[in-house]
Amino acid sequence: MTDSPRPLGFDTLAVHAGTAPDPATGARQVPIYQTTAYVFKDADHAARLFNLEEVGYIYSRLTNPTVSALAARVAALEGGVGAICCSSGHAAQIMALFPLMGPGRNLVASSRLYGGTITQFSQTIKRFGWSAKFVDTDDLKAVEAAIDDNTRAIFCESIANPGGYVTDIAALAKIADRKGLPLIVDNTTATPWLCRPIELGATLVVHSATKYLTGNGTVTGGVLVDSGKFNWSASDRFPSLAAPEPAYHGLNFHAALGPMAFTFHSIAVGLRDLGMTMNPQGAHYTLMGIETLGLRMERHVQNAQKVAEWLEKDPRIESVSYAGLKSSPYHDRARRVMPKGAGALFTCAVKGGYEACVKLVNELQLFSHVANLGDTRSLIIHSASTTHRQLTPEQLIASGAAPNVVRLSIGIEDADDLIADLDQALAKATA
């Protein structure tokens, strides 16, 4: 992409950012660099690369040209200075926390999160000596009260999956700023087309590229975007970034690399030692997917609005939890946080409870019953019996996955066909 005299729009960046015709061959599409290693020009070149004095390719666990093209594209779309592609969304979350945390440290996390993230934060990170304190992020006083001397980050989702809850990112960013903490936003369900967390004050943005970024259910991947705006040296709380890092021959990343400190640390230490690397094939599919992100999201949102409005009027439905509806307590906030629409993921409560939900899921023909979201195809899942079945009853209710609730991820098909499919399946489920 050549330097532009004016800032380029989102859809232009989605097609062009991070990519130029291949310098070796002129190939217009980004080639899949299916290689593990890269030949050094000479011993001196190799030494400069390892010292981070020159940026280049060493080994594909660290960087790869196809993967780097995707990182640059997502960084541009989110308005960050750099990004790291990871093997999954969950890997991106661990990679986001890794330079910040240590034994005895905690993060303050929203109680409304993707079910897998609640499990990752409430159980698995304990093995590293890390912990999470879950709070209702609508209660700003509770957020502030949960922060202690060992807190190293605040974590939330822009649109919380599955309850259709929209987070007041700017309000959380203010608290994070005041407390000298980075705010991490999982922007998977909104995508940068709907919501730009960095503009609202987020420090880091994480994505499951598995979802809308790739958009067609072919890739498991994640991306971590760094705003480059956080001052890691303002306190002594982030020694990996702002003091000599023993894992990288004593380099002080913030002193040496300024706003790129987090990005470089994530590559030079995080990917090097944790190995949660995205593969070039996965990066290729995700690059292709992102080319149409804006077009798809526009249709996803239009369809979700139509289907949600139809369901809300249907007597077989108890309620619909979608911030695009006037009945939602998050309707006004959604217009502020994501003015182009409230996403395409929502839940609805079915009269007839657990049994009717199970039948509905079985009777649908166009909707697929899968544990995924953000596909071109419409998807449905009964969270209580699947993705969220590890959660306690209290966690189920808090995360919007009660037993009578199904979650819909509305695709880009013809909305009338989706409505007809729901109509016939609801008739059988509630007969």
Contact between residue 151 and residue 179 where contact means Cβ atoms under 8 Å apart: yes
Q: What are phi and psi of 295, to 5 degrees?
A: -60, -45
> Using the rule CB under 6 A, is 277 a contact of ligand PLP?
no
Q: Closest distance between ligand PLP and the C-beta of residue 113, in Å?
A: 7
Taking the CA atoms of 393, 398, 399 and 403 in sequence, report the sign of the dihedral they define.
positive
Residues 87-126 that bind ligand PLP (CB under 6 A): 88-90, 114, 116-117
Among 19, 68, 151, 210, binds ligand PLP (CB under 6 A): 210
Among 60, 137, 208, 277, binds ligand PLP (CB under 6 A): 208
Mask: binding to ligand PLP, 152-181, rule CB under 6 A, as x and -? -----x---x--------------------
Mask: binding to ligand PLP, 351-390, rule CB under 6 A, as x and -? ----------------------x-----------------
Closest to ligand PLP by CB, 373 or 408: 373
Q: Quick one: tokens of 237?
A: 């709380």
Q: Quick one: tokens of 154?
A: 């605040």
The CA distance from 70 to 86, in Å, is 11
> Using the rule CB under 6 A, is 220 a contact of ligand PLP?
yes
Closest C-alpha among 352, 387, 356 to residue 372:
387
220 to 88, 90, 239, 279, 318: CA distances (angstroms): 5, 10, 32, 10, 34
Kindly list the strands in the beta sheet with 183-186, ordered across the sheet, starting from the edge strand earlier in the chain.
82-86, 222-226, 204-208, 183-186, 151-157, 106-110, 131-135
Taking the CA atoms of 321, 325, 329 and 335 in sequence, report the sign of the dihedral they define.
positive
Q: Closest distance between ligand PLP and the C-beta of residue 280, in Å?
A: 17
Among 222, 270, 289, 411, binds ligand PLP (CB under 6 A): 222
Q: Closest distance between ligand PLP and the C-beta of residue 160, in Å?
A: 8
Counting residues that bind ligand PLP (by CB under 6 A) gives 17
Closest to ligand PLP by CB, 49 or 85: 85
The CA distance from 363 to 257, in Å, is 56
Closest C-alpha among 282, 420, 288, 345 to residue 112:
345
Closest to ligand PLP by CB, 90 or 359: 90
Among 105, 112, 152, 211, binds ligand PLP (CB under 6 A): 211
Closest to ligand PLP by CB, 379 or 425: 379
Closest to ligand PLP by CB, 212 or 264: 212
Q: Closest distance between ligand PLP and the C-beta of residue 159, in Å?
A: 8
Q: Closest distance between ligand PLP and the C-beta of residue 87, in Å?
A: 8
> Using the rule CB under 6 A, is 227 a contact of ligand PLP?
no
Residues 59-88 that bind ligand PLP (CB under 6 A): 88
Residue with tokens 């959660």: 391
Q: Which residue is nearest to ligand PLP (CB)?
A: 89
Binding site for ligand PLP (CB under 6 A): 88-90, 114, 116-117, 157, 161, 186, 188-189, 208, 210-211, 220, 222, 373
